[in-house]
Amino acid sequence: MTVNQAGRRMLVAAALVAGCALGASAQTTLSLEEKAQFLRTARITSSKDIPKGVTRPIRLTLTDGTLTHDAAFSAVDEHTAILKFKDGRTELDFVDSYKYTLAAYQLAAMLGIDDMMPVTVEREVDHHKGSLAWWVDDVKWDEGERLKLKLQPPDPEAWNRQMYRMRLFAQLIADTDRNTGNMLITSDWKLWMIDFTRAFRRSRKLLVPGEVARCDRALLDRLRALTKDEVAAKTKPFIGGAEIAALMARRDAILVLVDKLVADNGEAKVLY
Ligand SMILES: Nc1ncnc2c1ncn2[C@@H]1O[C@H](COP(=O)(O)OP(=O)(O)O)[C@@H](O)[C@H]1O
Ligand SMILES: [Mg+2]
């Protein structure tokens, strides 16, 4: 791998001298590309089921001989003409696919919010292609658990800003499954978005426009600058023309909505 081996050896040596195993803090010193490379190439040493969740991704342990870290692997790729949910709702051309998680990660990178997602790459495991995501260590709660425990973030404004970034992204990609189990919170109160297998619906309208109430300025700039061709190039082959056309229409709808919010309420209430 391309990681600076000598540097890592020094880290290992330092950890051993300190009498502890290579910890999460040392692991997070890897760059995003180094993490991606590790996920693509490190040897898989064990696998276990994840007790939570619906589509049952598996938790793998990987090692490159120096670094050992876990990752979540999902190979779900279901296409159903008409799916009837337990609550009576139906969805036509229902798709549940690991490819959408990969497309979401690429798109998040284009928008500068990929620090809200674990690094995710495509990899083949046991002859199945799937998404492989860096395991987020130090998760304290998912959002469902936080709400149940009625825990308040220490810095509500910082927390809300993360939430509004996530909500805008969910509307952009028409994510039908942004449930509280797909929002992980680490001890530093950082919000992590995972699991986008039910996104990229073909709706040209926003699923829940009310979710876009405030907007990060840097994210808004990137959103305005997004082009169809660039999206197509970066998300290939995980999403195609129909998904991208709908995505760009929703992008336009978000821009109109944010501009209107600013005109009605003033920039200070909407943008941050
Ligand atoms: N990269 C990850 N880091 C930490 N925990 C994860 C990661 N991926 C999944 N999990 C845990 O596994 C659960 C199920 O994974 P998820 O990808 O949401 O699949 P499902 O389709 O089953 O909902 C999550 O709610 C979370 O608790
Ligand atoms: Mg999930």
- SS3 string of the chain? CCCCHHHHHHHHHHHHHCCCCCCHHHHCCCCHHHHHHHHHHCEEEEEEECCCCCCCCEEEEEECCCCEEEEEEECCEEEEEEEECCCCCEEEEEEEEHHHHHHHHHHHHHHCCHHHCCCEEEEEECCEEEEEEECCCCEEEEHHHHHHHCCCCCCHHHHHHHHHHHHHHHHHCCCCCCCHHHEEEECCCCEEECCCCCCCCCCCCCCCHHHCCCECHHHHHHHHHCCHHHHHHHHCCCCCHHHHHHHHHHHHHHHHHHHHHHHHHCHHHHEC
What local confidence, expressed as pLDDT, does residue 3 receive? 44
CA 97 – CA 127 distance, rounded (Å): 16
Cα-to-centroid distance, 271 and ligand 1 (Å): 31
- With tokens 């941050």, the residue in question is 272
Does the residue 33 lie in any domain? Answer: yes
- With tokens 């061709």, the residue in question is 229
Does the residue 14 lie in any domain? Answer: no
Does the residue 11 lie in any domain? Answer: no
Ligand nearest to the CA of 184: 1
The answer to whether the predicted template modeling score (pTM) of the entire model surpasses 0.85 is: yes
What local confidence, expressed as pLDDT, does residue 54 receive? 57
- With tokens 């590790």, the residue in question is 38
What local confidence, expressed as pLDDT, does residue 10 receive? 47
Does the residue 6 lie in any domain? Answer: no
Cα-to-centroid distance, 143 and ligand 2 (Å): 12
What local confidence, expressed as pLDDT, does residue 50 receive? 78
Find out whether 271 and 214 touch, Cβ atoms under 8 Å: yes
pLDDT tens-place string over residues 88-125 = 999 999 999 999 999 999 999 999 999 999 999 999 99
What local confidence, expressed as pLDDT, does residue 49 receive? 85
- Copy the structure tokens of residue 249: 């229409």
Give the C-alpha distances (Å, rounded to integers) separating 230 from 202, 227, 235.
19, 5, 9
CA 175 – CA 199 distance, rounded (Å): 4
> What is the domain extent for residue 225?
19-270
Mean pLDDT by 10 residues, the chain (272 residues): 47 41 58 97 93 76 97 96 92 95 98 98 95 97 98 98 98 97 98 98 98 98 98 98 98 98 98 98
Tell me how many domains the chain contains. 1
Does the residue 256 lie in any domain? Answer: yes
Which phi and psi angles does 226 have, rounded to 5°?
-60, 130
Does the residue 51 lie in any domain? Answer: yes
> What is the best residue among 27, 52, 105, 119 to mutate for testing ligand 1's pocket, by most ligand atoms within 8 Å of CB?
52
Does the residue 13 lie in any domain? Answer: no
Does the residue 12 lie in any domain? Answer: no
Closest ligand 1 atom, CA of 133? 1
Count other C-beta atoms under 10 Å from residue 126's C-beta: 10
Cis peptide before 237 (omega within 30 of 0): yes
How far does Cα 99 stand from its chain's mean position?
Answer: 12
- With tokens 């992204």, the residue in question is 169
CA 257 – CA 81 distance, rounded (Å): 32
> What is the best residue among 117, 146, 175, 184 to mutate for testing ligand 1's pocket, by most ligand atoms within 8 Å of CB?
184
